[in-house]
Structure 1
Amino acid sequence: MATVTTTKKACAVNPLKMSQPLGAALAFLGLDKCMPLMHGSQGCTAFGLVLLVRHFRETIPLQTTAMNEVTTILGGMDNLEQAIVNIYNRAKPDIIGICSTGLTETKGDDVHGFLKLIRQAHPELSETALVYVPTPDYLGAFQDGWGKAVTAIVEALCEPVPKTAWQVNILPGCHLTVADIEEVREIVESFGLYPIIAPDLSGSLDGHIPETFLPTTLGGAKIAQIKQMGGSAATIAIGEQMRPAAEALEARTGVPYRLFDRLVGLAANDEFLAYLSELSSTPISPKYRRQRSQLVDAMLDGHFFFGGKKVAIGAEPDLLWQIGAWLGEMGCEIAAAVTTTHSTLLEKLPAAEVVIGDLEDLEKRAAGCDLLITHSHGRQAAQRLGIPFIKMGLPLFDRLGAAHQLSVGYRGTRDRVFELGNLFIENLPEHHADSWPLPGESHETVPQSEACH
């Protein structure tokens, strides 16, 4: 059991966390024909836009209500109304996802009331879904915003519909990459099940070239699919951050849920596939039995190099749990663990302490470790400490294919074993000429004639 502490510094130094509005905006980007809208100043949206573009290397549709000093004091309804109407006229989205920011939350804008008045004044918006999620950036962190946005989507769009036995809902956390979501879909479909994944970044931010330009998102979960989630046989929530959304869906539609806190590691994937087999009454395919055997072999090969290694991790709670719990199973010591916000999983982490802090806290605790794991902003700390560095999380702006890093499933876990194991091997001390010193000058050399006798 880990002890969870929160730093009390006056300011964050080299921040680890990102804000709730950005997490909510990314969730909305996983919906088809959606336009995320940040209700706040232009700077809030500009920062998030640049960060997401650098990570995904794709065009990111993201708009702002452009609040200023005057509109903040007088109220933001006019700005919100103008932004929604302009987006509707120019982009014709199926859904507009509205995320509040610290500015408008501090003012106390009644956005739910604003939206009712805007709909009354603009009947042309009747076919456009308007989903609002309160995400003040002075509270919580990135995964909190994602979870709140998915909960708001469920509460706004899902209703009870006739049940379909082979249909299942997948609620992925923000710690899953595009490749992770694609792997989960492939596994679920192998049991003859039809998954509805929401949000689905693998449809919108997988790096495909569109046939034509669209000002909204270019794929993802469709509104019609989300409205059918109430007819599924079960909901699979991946990550503790998705529990509120799964509970909301169950309360509204009666669809039971099963939460998997991670899908990295042998036991975690055994549990996942066993559940799918039970749900579908279908045996696990030989393909995944083979992949499981490959993972077991990889773990046998790699445990010599993982055992006893000290690792420092800085990540959002669900990603920290996913990496830390798996590395603990591989025999590593989690010597430093720093995260961004509270979670019920933190106390379960196989570490002495989990700090809710920043990258400065991580750097101080990572001295003497064998590996540092965090996003791209940790590169300077790794360089100063002189230790190997693996980039995970978001943003990863100095690597190509960040969205296609695979970690989940037997195959993803196997590849991670190889990646980290090879890094440990590369940093093993090499023998050199001085490893076996020759006798000193005081040692008398035995003459060859005497040695013969």
Structure 2
Amino acid sequence: MAIVSVPNKSVAVNPLKQSQTLGAAMAFLGLKGMVPLLHGSQGCTAFAKVILVRHFREAIPLATTAMTEVTTILGGEDNITQSILTLMEKSNPEIIGLCTTGLTETRGDDMQGILKDFRKSHPELDSLPIILVSSPDFKGALQDGFAAAVEGIVRELPEPGRTIPQQVNILAGSAFTPGDIQQVKDIVAEFGLVPIVVPDLSASMDGHLDDSWSPITVGGTTLEQLRKVGSSCFTIALGESVRGAAEILEQRFEIPFEVFRELTGLQPVDEFLQALSDVSGVRVPDKFCRQRKQLQDSMLDTHFYFGRKRVSLALEPDLLWSTVLFLQSMGAEIQAAVTTTRSPLLEQLPIDQVVIGDYEDFEELAKGSDLLIGNSHAGNIARRLGIPLYRQGIPIYDRLGNGQVTKVGYKGTMDILFDIGNILLDTEERKARDLKYEM
């Protein structure tokens, strides 16, 4: 059991966490025909957009209510109304995701009342889904905002219906990349199941060329699919952070669910495939048995380089959990673990301590490590300490292909094994060369 500590500092130095607003906006980007609308100043939206564009290297549809000093004091009702009407006129989205920011949450805008008044004033837009998410950036982190958006989606859009035996819901947390989601979809389909992923970033943020530019998301979970979520026979929650969304579906539609906290590593993937076999009644396909043998061989090849290595991580809680357990399964030791926000997972981590802090805390705790794991903001720390960095999380702006990176399933586990293993191998080779020259 880990001890969770929070440094007693009056200010964050070199912040690690990203805002709830960014997380909620990213979740909404996994819905087709969507425009996330951030209720705040233009700077709030511009900052989020820059991070998402640099990470995914894609056009990101984000809109803002453009609050000013005057409207912040007098109230943002008119800004919300005008923003929605402008979006409908110029972009015609199928869904709007309305996310609050620290500015408007501090003021205390009555968002439910504002939307209620908007519906009364514009009955012609009664059929337009507007999903409201409270996502202040003065508390929580990206993972919390992402999870809140998923909960808002499953609370508002699914409708009751006759159960479809082979249809399953997949609720994906923020720790899973578009490549991860595509891999999960492919695995689920091999069992004869029809997955509905909420949100499906693999169809929108995976990096693909479309025939024409669009001001709204061109891929993702469709509104029709979202309506059918209530008819699924089972829900798979990927990540502890989306457990709440799975519970909402269970309460509303009596859909049983299971939470998979990680899908990286031999045992977690075994358990996932067994669950799919139980739900579908189909035995595990031979192709996965072959991949499992390949993973076992890969673990034998790479464990020499992982054994007793000291690793320091700075990640969101869900991603921290899966990465720590995977590294420990390969014989690595966790020297430091720094995260962004509270989670029931933190106390359960099989390490001594978890720090909810910033990159200043991380730099101090990580001295002497063999490997650092964090987003691109950890690059300067890695250079100062002379320790190699494996990039995970958001944002990663100094590497290409973030939409396709895969770390789940047997194949994804092999990818991360080889990626980290090659970093550790290269470090050992370099140390050996330096020792030879010194002699």
TM-score norm. by structure 1 comes to 0.95
The answer to whether the Cα contact below 8 Å between 1:146 and 1:174 also exists between their aligned partners in 2 is yes
What is the alpha-carbon distance in structure 1 between the residues aligned to residue 278 and residue 336 of structure 2? 38
What is the alpha-carbon distance in structure 2 between the residues aligned to residue 236 and residue 331 of structure 1? 29
Q: 1:434 to 1:199 in 2, by over 3 A?
A: closer
What is the alpha-carbon distance in structure 1 between the residues aligned to residue 348 and residue 247 of structure 2? 22
User: Superposition pairs for residues 169-318 of structure 1, below 5 Å?
Assistant: 169-318=169-318
What is the alpha-carbon distance in structure 2 between the residues aligned to residue 373 and residue 432 of structure 1? 24
Query: 1:9 maps to which residue?
Result: 9
Q: Deviation at 1:435? A: 8.0
For the residue of structure 2 that corresponds to 1:181, the secondary structure is helix
State, as a whole percentage, how many aligned pairs show the same letter. 52
Residues 7-51 of structure 1: per-residue CA shift (max 9 Å, x gap): 221111111100001100011110000010000111110100111
Q: Counterpart of 1:137 in structure 2: which amino acid?
A: D
Q: Deviation at 1:349? A: 1.8
Query: 2:37 maps to which residue?
Result: 37
Q: Counterpart of 1:396 in structure 2: which amino acid?
A: I
For the residue of structure 2 that corresponds to 1:128, the secondary structure is coil
Q: How many residues align?
A: 437
Residues 279-323 of structure 1: per-residue CA shift (max 9 Å, x gap): 100010111001111111111111111110000000000011111
> Any unmatched runs of 5+ in structure 1?
438-453
What is the alpha-carbon distance in structure 1 between the residues aligned to residue 213 and residue 373 of structure 2? 37
Query: 1:65 maps to which residue?
Result: 65
Could you list the structure 1 runs, at least 4 aligned residues long, displaced by more than 4 angstroms after superposition: 431-437
Q: Deviation at 1:159? A: 2.2
Residues 44-102 of structure 1: per-residue CA shift (max 9 Å, x gap): 10100111011111110000101111111111100000001100111111100000011
Q: Deviation at 1:404? A: 1.1
> Which deviates more from structure 2 when the two are superposed, residues 286-295 or residues 428-437?
428-437
Q: Deviation at 1:207? A: 1.1
Q: Deviation at 1:433? A: 8.4
What is the alpha-carbon distance in structure 2 between the residues aligned to residue 195 and residue 312 of structure 1? 36
For the residue of structure 2 that corresponds to 1:219, the secondary structure is coil
Residues 261-282 of structure 1: per-residue CA shift (max 9 Å, x gap): 0000110000000000011000
The answer to whether the Cα contact below 8 Å between 1:159 and 1:252 also exists between their aligned partners in 2 is no
Query: 1:118 maps to which residue?
Result: 118
The answer to whether the Cα contact below 8 Å between 1:94 and 1:127 also exists between their aligned partners in 2 is no
Q: 1:56 to 1:431 in 2, by over 3 A?
A: closer
Q: Deviation at 1:431? A: 5.3
Query: 1:442 maps to which residue?
Result: none
Q: Counterpart of 2:402 in structure 1: which amino acid?
A: A
Residues 304-346 of structure 1: per-residue CA shift (max 9 Å, x gap): 1111000000000001111111101111111010000001111
Q: Counterpart of 1:198 in structure 2: which amino acid?
A: V
User: Superposition pairs for residues 12-91 of structure 1, below 5 Å?
Assistant: 12-91=12-91
What is the alpha-carbon distance in structure 1 between the residues aligned to residue 190 and residue 343 of structure 2? 32
Q: Deviation at 1:124? A: 2.3
User: Superposition pairs for residues 339-358 of structure 1, below 5 Å?
Assistant: 339-358=339-358
What is the alpha-carbon distance in structure 1 between the residues aligned to residue 305 and residue 435 of structure 2? 24
What is the alpha-carbon distance in structure 1 between the residues aligned to residue 138 and residue 297 of structure 2? 46
> Which deviates more from structure 2 when the two are superposed, residues 304-313 or residues 428-437?
428-437
Q: 1:301 to 1:97 in 2, by over 3 A?
A: same
Q: Counterpart of 1:174 in structure 2: which amino acid?
A: S
Q: Counterpart of 1:166 in structure 2: which amino acid?
A: Q
Q: Deviation at 1:109? A: 0.7
Q: Deviation at 1:387? A: 0.7
What is the alpha-carbon distance in structure 2 between the residues aligned to residue 351 and residue 238 of structure 1? 23
Q: Deviation at 1:432? A: 7.0
What is the alpha-carbon distance in structure 2 between the residues aligned to residue 432 and residue 29 of structure 1? 48
Q: Counterpart of 1:321 in structure 2: which amino acid?
A: W
1:430 has 2:426 as partner: no
Q: Counterpart of 2:248 in structure 1: which amino acid?
A: A
Q: 1:88 to 1:432 in 2, by over 3 A?
A: closer
Query: 1:142 maps to which residue?
Result: 142
The answer to whether the Cα contact below 8 Å between 1:160 and 1:254 also exists between their aligned partners in 2 is no
Q: 1:324 to 1:122 in 2, by over 3 A?
A: same
User: Superposition pairs for residues 333-344 of structure 1, below 5 Å?
Assistant: 333-344=333-344
User: Superposition pairs for residues 359-398 of structure 1, below 5 Å?
Assistant: 359-398=359-398
For the residue of structure 2 that corresponds to 1:31, the secondary structure is coil
The answer to whether the Cα contact below 8 Å between 1:317 and 1:346 also exists between their aligned partners in 2 is yes
Q: 1:434 to 1:221 in 2, by over 3 A?
A: closer
The answer to whether the Cα contact below 8 Å between 1:407 and 1:416 also exists between their aligned partners in 2 is yes
The answer to whether the Cα contact below 8 Å between 1:334 and 1:350 also exists between their aligned partners in 2 is no
Q: 1:303 to 1:83 in 2, by over 3 A?
A: same
What is the alpha-carbon distance in structure 1 between the residues aligned to residue 435 and residue 220 of structure 2? 58
For the residue of structure 1 that corresponds to 2:126, the secondary structure is helix
Q: CA RMSD in A?
A: 1.2
Larger CA Rg, structure 1 vs 2: 1
For the residue of structure 1 that corresponds to 2:403, the secondary structure is helix
> Which deviates more from structure 2 when the two are superposed, residues 208-217 or residues 136-145?
208-217
For the residue of structure 2 that corresponds to 1:296, the secondary structure is helix
What is the alpha-carbon distance in structure 2 between the residues aligned to residue 159 and residue 432 of structure 1? 65
Q: Counterpart of 2:134 in structure 1: which amino acid?
A: P
